[in-house]
């Protein structure tokens, strides 16, 4: 099984690879189209601005191969933080369109609210549907760093929600495509379990 962590210039690619190695899985970090074409599973990480992420993907000529792997070949793909947001249609943060794998927008936490922005630190999740990513309904917490979050028009795509002011969508899933707003590579045993489940069960 060939696992590729997509390196398009933004994201904690080494941290993810290190955690996978610790769990006993081999993964390749690559931004090369020919390498990504051979992948059986993909991880799309990301930290930073939406438009910058989409621009980097296009400049590296990765748009077509990512669409092919996700939507035609139906290979399992996990988006992390910005990677999850890029799977959506658009973002309030920028003007470019996203990958459009989910009928969802990326919106900012409300200005003037009592919550601090960015949302930073550990927070809980509520599981909204069964998933290969989570073993049980036990209380679990993950590490977040973000100012924008996904707002999906299709509630069936919502995998987890998280309380921060109001409940927001912290993970999405449809078919072979998964996205998480938090950082599993920074979430200790819960993040390890999620990545292990992605590797073994999807």
Query: Domain segments of the chain: what residues?
Result: 3-201
Q: Is the pLDDT of residue 97 over 80?
A: yes
Q: Is 11 helix (H, G, I), strand (E, B) or coil?
A: coil
Distance separating alpha carbons of residues 153 and 114, to the nearest angstrom = 26
How many other C-beta atoms can be found within 10 angstroms of the C-beta atom of residue 33? 14
112 pLDDT more than 90? no
Q: What's the confidence (pLDDT) of residue 135?
A: 79
How would you classify the pairing of strands 77-80 and 90-91?
unpaired
Phi and psi at 188, nearest 5°, equal: 50, -135
Question: Which residue out of 56, 81, 88, 146 is catalytically annotated?
Answer: 81
Known active-site residue 81? yes
CA-CA distance, 178 to 189, in Å (whole number)? Answer: 19
Contact 191, 183 (CB under 8 A): yes
Q: In the numeric block, which tokens belong to residue 151?
A: 């707002």
User: Which one is catalytic: 56, 149, 173, 183?
Assistant: 183
pLDDT at 74: 99
7-27 confidence digits (pLDDT tens)? 999 988 999 999 999 999 999
CA distance 114 to 164: 10
Cis peptide before 165 (omega within 30 of 0): no
> Which fold, 3-201?
Rossmann fold (3.40.50)
Q: Given CA atoms 111, 114, 118, 124 in this order, what sign does their dihedral have?
A: negative
Query: Is 183 a known active-site residue?
Result: yes
88 is catalytic: no
Please, are residues 65 and 58 in contact by the beta-carbon 8 Å criterion? no
pTM summary value:
0.96
User: CA-CA distance, 12 to 45, in Å (whole number)?
Assistant: 7
Cα 93 from chain centroid? 17
CA distance 140 to 133: 12
What are the phi and psi torsion angles at 88 (to 5°)? -90, 180
Q: In 3D, which of 171, 161, 174, 176 has the Cα closest to residue 194?
A: 171
Average pLDDT of the residues of the chain? 96
**Mean pLDDT, residues 70-76:** 99
% of the chain surpassing 90 pLDDT: 92
Catalytic residue among 56, 93, 119, 185: 185
The pLDDT value given to residue 83: 98
113-124 per-position pLDDT tens digit: 789 999 999 999
pLDDT at 137: 65
* pLDDT tens per residue, range 146-160: 999 999 989 999 999
């Amino acid at each position: 099984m060939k696992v590729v962590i997509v390196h398009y210039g933004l994201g904690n690619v080494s941290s993810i690879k290190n955690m996978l190695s610790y769990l006993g899985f081999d993964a390749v970090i690559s931004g090369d189209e020919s390498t990504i074409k051979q992948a059986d599973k993909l991880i799309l990480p990301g930290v930073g601005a939406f438009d910058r992420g989409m621009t980097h993907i296009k400049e590296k000529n990765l748009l077509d191969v990512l669409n092919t792997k996700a939507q035609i070949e139906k290979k399992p793909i996990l988006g992390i933080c910005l990677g999850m947001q890029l799977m959506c249609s658009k973002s309030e943060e920028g003007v470019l369109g996203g990958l459009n794998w989910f009928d969802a927008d990326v919106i900012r936490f409300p200005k003037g609210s009592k919550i601090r922005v960015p949302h930073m630190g550990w927070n809980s999740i509520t599981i909204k549907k069964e998933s290969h990513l989570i073993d049980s309904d036990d209380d679990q917490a993950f590490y977040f760093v973000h100012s924008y979050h996904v707002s999906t028009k299709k509630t069936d795509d919502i995998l987890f929600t998280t309380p921060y002011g109001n409940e927001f969508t912290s993970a999405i899933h449809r078919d072979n495509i998964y996205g998480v707003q938090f950082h599993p590579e920074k979430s200790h045993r819960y993040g390890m379990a999620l990545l292990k489940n992605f590797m073994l069960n999807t």
